[in-house]
Chains A and B, each alone.
Chain A
C-alpha cells in the first residue's frame, strides 16, 4: 500500500501549487478588476483599410 503515501504527497504538492498560484495572482492584482477584462476580450481587432488583419493582442502586456 505504499502507493497511498505517494498519492498523499502528490495531493499535497498539487494543493500547494494552487495555493501559491492564488497568492501570486492576488498579489499581482488579478482580482482587482473583474469587469474590464470581460469587456476587453470582446473587442475585435480593427480591420483596417490596408487589409492586414492580424490577431495580435496589444493590450495584455503591462
Chain B
C-alpha cells in the first residue's frame, strides 16, 4: 500500500522518514514539519489538506546576490533606520494555509516584523529588521517551500491603474444624486415651487459636468479619433447619443424647463462603465508580457583571478568567466570551461531530456545547468545572444490600430440618419415648432446603449468561464481573435508532446518484482529528468515500494548506484555500466546493472499527450492545422497516419523559420492561432494573430502571448474554441433585444411622446435585461 508524505502529500517511494508518528518523503519535508511544530504553527496542516509544498534543495548562498548593495536597493521599497520593506513574488502560494504560515512567519524568525500576503498577486509584503540580510529571508522562504522568484522585477513594480474605478465612482455618485433630486419632479411634488426646481436643476447640471468630461471621456475621445481617421466604430453612435442627451438636458435646464434627461444620462454612463469594469477580468498573478530577461538569473558570479564577485547580468562583459549553479539558466552565449555538464533546454525547445556538452563547446543562452556549478567564458553579452536577438528583431509587432470599420456601426448610423431625416421632414410640415425636439429625442433613444452593454458582459462572462477551464486570456479582445482563427499552428515538442516526462521503455532480460521495486527506489533518489521518467514508468505500471536504500552514490553526468537488501543496483550511461565508452549518437538511453551484471537499458521517447490525436482530428474539421517542429521528422509518419488529412507538417524548423512560416500565412490573409510553449516559439507567438502559450505551471515560464493554457487542458482545445465562439451567439441575441428596445423607444420619440420619465424607465430596463441575458446564456453554456 502506498503511503503519502504528511507534509507535501506526494507518494512515498522507498522507506519514508518516520518522525513524530508521521511519515515524510524526504528530509526537506520533515524539517519543515519540525520547524512548524516547534514554532507552534500546527494549524498549517489543519486549515487545508495538501497545504505543504516540497522545499527545494538549494545550494548555500544561492540568494547572496541580494546582499550586494546595488542589487539590494533595486528590490527594497522603503528603508528607514530600523526596518526594510519589500515585496516578494512567491509563486508557490496556493491556499489559505500558505497565507496562515507566511503571515505568522515572525514566529520562525524574530527579525521579521510582519508579513502581509496578497493572494491574488501571489505576493508577500515583508517588513524586516534593517540588519537582517535579505538573502537569509529568501533562504528561509525557500526552506519552507516558497522560493521567491526575482524574474519579473519590472512587472512587480508596475503600479495599478485605478482610473476606471475613479470614473465609475464619479458616475455612480452623480447617478444616485440626480435620481434622488429628480424624484419630486417626476412625481409632480413641489412643482409649484419654481425656486426649488431651479436649485435642483442647476445642482444637477453642476455634478453632471464631471460625468461628461471625466467619466465618459473615453467614449468621446474614441469616437473623435475614429472620425478623424475617417472610420466608424460603435463609440460614434454612442457619443452622438451622449451628446444629444446631454445637450438637450443642459438646454432645458438653462431655459428653466426642469432637469431634462440628466438622470438617464448619468445612469447610462454608470452602466457603461460597469460593463467596462466587468470586462476587465485580469489574472494578476499571471504575466502575459514576459521578455527574455525574466528567464535569466538576476545576477551571476564572476570569477576574477580566483576571487569571486557577484554582478548583475547587465554588467557581464564579453570575455568574463562566469559561474552558474545547478538549476540556473545560462544568461549569455558562451563557451564551456568546466569538463562536462548536462544542459536542459526545455525552456527553449520544450525538450526535457538534457543535452551533454563538453569542455570548449559553444553554449547558447537559455539552457539550465543540471548538476554541479559550472564555469563559462562569455562570448556575447546577454542582450546580444542568439535567443534575445530573435526577440529584439521580430517581437516589435506594431500595435495595429484596427482600420477595419465596424460594419454594424455603419448600418446603424445609416438607419439613424434616414429615420431622423424623415422624422424631421414629417414634423416640419406637421408642427414645425417641434422639429428640433423630435430629432433630438430620436438621437437620444437611438443610442445603442443596450448594444454597448451587451458586448462587455458577454465577453466578460466568456473570459470567466474559459478561466475556469484553465485558459487564461490577456483581455477581451483575445476572444475576437480566437473566433476569427482560420489556421491553427502547433509547435510539437512540449506542446503536442508532453513536456514533463518522457516515455521510458525497458529492453533487456526480465526483471523480478523486487528488482523493479529496487530500481524505482534508486531512481527516485535522483533529481535527473531521466530518473524521473523511470520513476513514472514504474508508478504507471502500478509499482509501489518501501525498500530502504542503504547506500547511495550519484556521479554527476554518469549515473547513480545504490544498495538495497545487500544487492547493488546501478543506473547510468553506457560507460558507467559497462566500463568502456561507445560512440552513442542517441544519448537518451540509461543502462542498468544489478550486482555489476548489465541486465538491460531504458530508452526514452517524447510521448504525445493522451487524447491529443482526437483533439487534432476534431480541430482539423473546422480549421486548417499546421505542425512545426524543431526536431527531426521521426514522428511525421505517426501524425500523418493517425490524423486524417493532416498534411502541413514541417520539421527541422529553427525559431526564425517558425516566425517566417507564420508571417507567410498571415500575409496570405489567413488568421493564425499559434500554440507553443518554449522560448523558441516566442517570435512565432508574437507574430501570429493570436498566440497561446502552453504551460505546465502557469506562474512560471511562459513566453509572452495573448493567452496561457494549462498544458493538461490542451486536449480540450476544440471545446474551448467553441465556448469562445459562443460569445458571438450571445452577442447576436443581445443585438436582437437591443433592436427591439430601440424600436419601442423610437416609436415614443417619433410620435413626440418621449418624456424624461419614460427615458428614465426605459433605459435601466433595457440595460439590465441585456446584462441578465448575456450572463445567463454564458452560465448555461459553462
- A-side residues, CB < 8 A to B, are 1, 4-5, 8, 11-12, 15-16, 18-19, 22-23, 26-27, 29, 31-36, 39-40, 42-44, 46, 48-49, 58-59, 61-62
Contact = CB atoms under 8 A, between A and B. Distances in A.
B173 A19 contact: yes
A23 B163 CA distance: 10
B162 A27 contact: yes
Given A4-B196, A19-B169, A36-B99, A12 B203 contact: yes
Given A1-B190, A33-B121, A46-B40, A26 B203 contact: no
A40 B40 contact: no
A48 B176 CA distance: 51
Contact of B180 (A11, A18, A46, A61): A11
Given A15-B177, A49-B40, A26 B118 contact: no
Given A39-B119, A59-B116, A29 B160 contact: yes
Contacts of B41: 46
Contacts of A59: 103, 114, 116
B114 A36 contact: no
Contact of B199 (A8, A32, A42, A62): A8
Contacts of B117: 36
B120 interface: yes
A43 B96 CA distance: 9
A40 B99 contact: yes
B543 interface: no
Q: Which of B162, B196, B199 has the most CB of A within 10 A?
A: B162
Nearest to A60: B116
A49 B38 CA distance: 11
Contacts of A15: 173, 176-177
B196 A35 contact: no
A54 B431 CA distance: 80
A16 B166 CA distance: 13
Interface in B171-202: 173, 176-177, 180-181, 190, 193, 196, 199-200
Interface in B112-153: 114, 116-121, 125, 127
Contacts of A46: 40-41, 43, 104, 107
Interface residues of B, number: 36
Interface in B82-108: 96, 99-100, 103-104, 107
Q: Which of B41, B103, B107 has the most CB of A within 10 A?
A: B103
Q: Which of A1, A16, A22 has the most CB of B within 10 A?
A: A22
Nearest to A1: B193
A43 to B, nearest CB: 5
Nearest to B125: A62
15 contacts: A1-B193, A8-B203, A11-B180, A23-B166, A23-B169, A27-B162, A29-B160, A31-B165, A35-B120, A36-B117, A36-B118, A39-B100, A43-B43, A62-B114, A62-B127
B170 interface: yes
Contacts of B162: 26-27
Given A35-B119, A59-B114, A4 B190 contact: yes
A45 to B, nearest CB: 10
A16 to B, nearest CB: 7
B489 to A, nearest CB: 37
B200 A8 contact: yes
A62 B100 CA distance: 17
A29 B160 CA distance: 9
B404 to A, nearest CB: 36
Given A39-B99, A46-B40, A33 B160 contact: no
B169 to A, nearest CB: 5
Contacts, number: 79
A62 B120 contact: no
Nearest to A34: B120
Interface of B: 40-41, 43, 47, 96, 99-100, 103-104, 107, 114, 116-121, 125, 127, 160, 162, 165-166, 169-170, 173, 176-177, 180-181, 190, 193, 196, 199-200, 203
A36 B166 contact: no
A35 B96 CA distance: 10
A25 B446 CA distance: 37
Given A8-B203, A39-B96, A58 B114 contact: yes
A44 to B, nearest CB: 7
Given A1-B190, A12-B177, A59-B103, 19 more contacts: A1-B196, A8-B181, A11-B181, A12-B203, A22-B169, A23-B169, A31-B165, A32-B118, A39-B96, A39-B100, A43-B43, A43-B100, A46-B41, A46-B107, A49-B40, A59-B114, A59-B116, A61-B114, A62-B114
Nearest to B170: A19
Contacts of B114: 58-59, 61-62
Nearest to B180: A11
Nearest to A44: B43
Contacts of B196: 1, 4-5
Contacts of B180: 11
Contacts of A61: 114
A26 B169 CA distance: 10
Contacts of B166: 23, 26
A19 B165 CA distance: 11
Nearest to B95: A39
Given A1-B196, A15-B173, A33-B121, A62 B116 contact: yes
A59 to B, nearest CB: 6
Contacts of B118: 32-33, 36
Contacts of A48: 40
B276 to A, nearest CB: 15
A35 B122 CA distance: 11
A12 B178 CA distance: 10
B103 A40 contact: yes
Nearest to A19: B173
A55 B579 CA distance: 68
Contacts of A8: 181, 199-200, 203
Nearest to A43: B100
Contact of B173 (A1, A16, A32, A58): A16
Contacts of B193: 1
Contact of A18 (B116, B125, B173): B173
B36 to A, nearest CB: 12
B534 to A, nearest CB: 40
Contacts of A33: 118-121
Nearest to A7: B180
Nearest to B176: A15
Nearest to B107: A46
Nearest to A48: B40
Q: Which of B121, B127, B169 has the most CB of A within 10 A?
A: B169
Nearest to B163: A26
A56 to B, nearest CB: 13
B286 to A, nearest CB: 15
Given A8-B203, A18-B173, A32 B103 contact: no
10 tightest A-B CB contacts, nearest first: A19-B173, A39-B96, A36-B119, A35-B119, A33-B118, A22-B169, A26-B165, A33-B120, A15-B177, A26-B162
Contacts of B40: 46, 48-49
A61 B72 CA distance: 25
B112 to A, nearest CB: 12
A34 B116 CA distance: 14
A6 B9 CA distance: 66
A43 B190 CA distance: 55
A2 to B, nearest CB: 10
A34 B281 CA distance: 13
A58 B113 CA distance: 10
A11 B177 contact: yes
